[in-house]
Structure 1
Amino acid sequence: MKKLLVLFLLYCNCSFAQNKIVVFQSDFGLKDGAVSAMKGVAMGVDSSLKLFDLTHEIPAYNIWEAAYRLEQTVPYWPAGTVFVSVVDPGVGTNRKSVVLKTKTGKFIVTPDNGTLTLIAASQGIEAVREIDEAVNRRKGSEKSYTFHGRDVYAYTAARLASGTISFEQVGKLLPNEIVKLPYQAAVMENKKIKGTIEILDVQYGNIWTNITDDLFKQLEVKVGDNFHVVIWQDKIKKYEGNMPYTETFGAVAKGKPLLYLNSLLQVSFALNQASFSAVHKVYSGSGWTVEISKVK
């Protein structure tokens, strides 16, 4: 009876990791075989795994964008999904290789270099474990120091997703702390909202912020209200102007600015049928901040 109870508890501990889904993200691009190599390693662990791509078009070394794409995507996947995120300019250095388990039951396998900043804040940290490379490393790869995505992360993720190992077998438990990138959280101060430009809607050059609709609506807004928008890059002003809050791009003339809520219900800025980013030389990242206020 005691043995059955132990087996049941072990099953419960690892059940979140057994949906056999692995989702890959990197800055590798698809011009060579790097992504295919990672998937090959995963399939070598368990050929019944279901492998998907988040994106492999993160700009090279752009840890902030890796953090954002996880934030944008992880919530929509079921509990038990294992994510591999490899944007790793410090590969081979003493930065830690970890698996973070969110409070929503998702797992992220990644270097602890800031990639976890946003997802830890929004999904919460259930636990963090450092990957024990003596066990969770592709056999024969010990002399390789520059492709941990293949040799450590894809391999560990596949073992976890397949149930070959439990989360506890990833490696030693670390404090519930991760390396964090600095950024301006969305806050209200004296009827002005401050936030960060998290990302561009790259196809169209629209500007997406981290200001949620709930916070925005504290300004008692209605469609058609005008807003004063100021944008800085590292405290250098890059844009200042007024624009209406609209529900559609066509509510303003071609080339004119507007404020709208994007598909994630976050405050965004655009030019109708033009690129706000290209026209005003506004980009994204932790150093790009914004302030909006209602025009009386």
Structure 2
Amino acid sequence: MKPPILMQTDFSRNSSAVAAMLGVCQSVDPEVNIFDGNHAIPPFNVFVASTNLAYLADFWPMGTVFVSVVDPGVGTSRRGSVALLKNGQYVVTPDNGTLTHLQRTVGVQAIREIDMTVNRWPTTETCNIFHGRDVFAYTAIRLASGIIDFEGVGPAYPLEEMVIIDYDEALYQAEKDAFTGVIHSAHPHFGLVCSNIPASEVKGRWELNYGDLLEVTVTRGSQVIFQETLPFQHSFGYVDIGQPLLFISSSLEMELAMRNDNIVEKYGIEAGPEWRMQIKRA
């Protein structure tokens, strides 16, 4: 059985770009199963693309070919690449920081630069703005279908040359008795604000129980965006409508939201290395 392809982009579903990428894959090998991941990644936000890939990797089988196209440097000298992960999955993507979280979690075993003299949709050589269709989708389907193997992607290059976004791991500060982490996801639809603070560490250190009150502060640089004392709960239904709460996310990290409201829109919260969440006992 041929491995599946899973695609994510910042194109949105209001564009024909995603359909064009799917059409390339179907034209090369209609037997390969292709699935949509997330096409609503904030435009140009490579950090969110990186966190999203790391979240998805755990739930897809060995051999899966991920295609991630959040590519503000399209048409420049930035590398188009295919990474082989240590779990046997592949990621076809511009090497622009998209592999950051996967390198820390799953691990990248090897990486190759796409040889566009071979792995490019024919007749598109003069188009420099749509590598998602012409290079990444085309290379992914050729890899998934077995037309090329990993070596057929192009020349290998050192892992040390991968572009990695610098961000801080979650940290417990004993002098403050507080956990601080980076906000790596601010979901615009439901308003879910997820940190990289492991819930197991918080519960273990504080013997945290559902219903306990915590002081949560969200900052961007030195600016306080949100600060409130709120309950730690199982899920949204344990608080009143409009009330904020802290809970364990689907990635088992500490997450902030409001019941039946959107804290992301209300406070303009975003994700990235400069966005932080601090959690203290009230």
TM-score above 0.5: yes
Kept after mapping to 2: 8 A contact 1:257/1:269: yes
Identity of aligned residues (%): 38
CA RMSD of aligned residues (A): 1.7
Q: Report deviation, 1:283.
A: 2.6
Secondary structure of residue in 2 paired with 1:246: coil
- Between stretches 113-122 and 78-87, larger displacement belongs to 113-122
Change (3 A) 1:277 1:34: closer
Match in the other structure for 2:190: 204
Q: State the AA in 1 paired with 2:189.
A: Q
Please tell me whether residue 142 in structure 1 is matched to residue 122 in structure 2: no
State how many pairs are aligned. 278
Kept after mapping to 2: 8 A contact 1:20/1:48: no
Q: State the AA in 1 paired with 2:89.
A: K
Secondary structure of residue in 2 paired with 1:259: strand
- TM-score if structure 2 supplies the norm length? 0.92
Point out the structure with max Rg over C-alpha. 1
- Between stretches 242-251 and 278-287, larger displacement belongs to 278-287
Question: Alpha-carbon deviations, 1:97-142, whole Å to 9, x = none?
Answer: 1111111111000001111111221110111111111221122222
Please tell me whether residue 121 in structure 1 is matched to residue 107 in structure 2: no
Please tell me whether residue 285 in structure 1 is matched to residue 272 in structure 2: yes
Question: Alpha-carbon deviations, 1:184-241, whole Å to 9, x = none?
Answer: 3212221321111111233322321111222222332122222121211022121222
Match in the other structure for 1:6: none
Aligned counterpart in structure 2 of residue 59 of structure 1, from 42, 50, 53: 42
Match in the other structure for 1:154: 137
Q: Aligned partners of 1:122 and 1:294: how far apart in 2?
A: 29
Question: Alpha-carbon deviations, 1:248-273, whole Å to 9, x = none?
Answer: 32333332222111222211112233
Q: State the AA in 2 paired with 1:166.
A: D
Match in the other structure for 1:181: 165
Please tell me whether residue 261 in structure 1 is matched to residue 217 in structure 2: no
Kept after mapping to 2: 8 A contact 1:184/1:289: no
Match in the other structure for 1:240: 227
Q: Which runs of 5+ in 2 are unaligned?
A: none
Change (3 A) 1:245 1:166: same
Q: Report deviation, 1:155.
A: 0.9
Match in the other structure for 1:213: 199
Q: State the AA in 1 paired with 2:195.
A: T
Kept after mapping to 1: 8 A contact 2:188/2:265: no
Please tell me whether residue 132 in structure 1 is matched to residue 115 in structure 2: yes
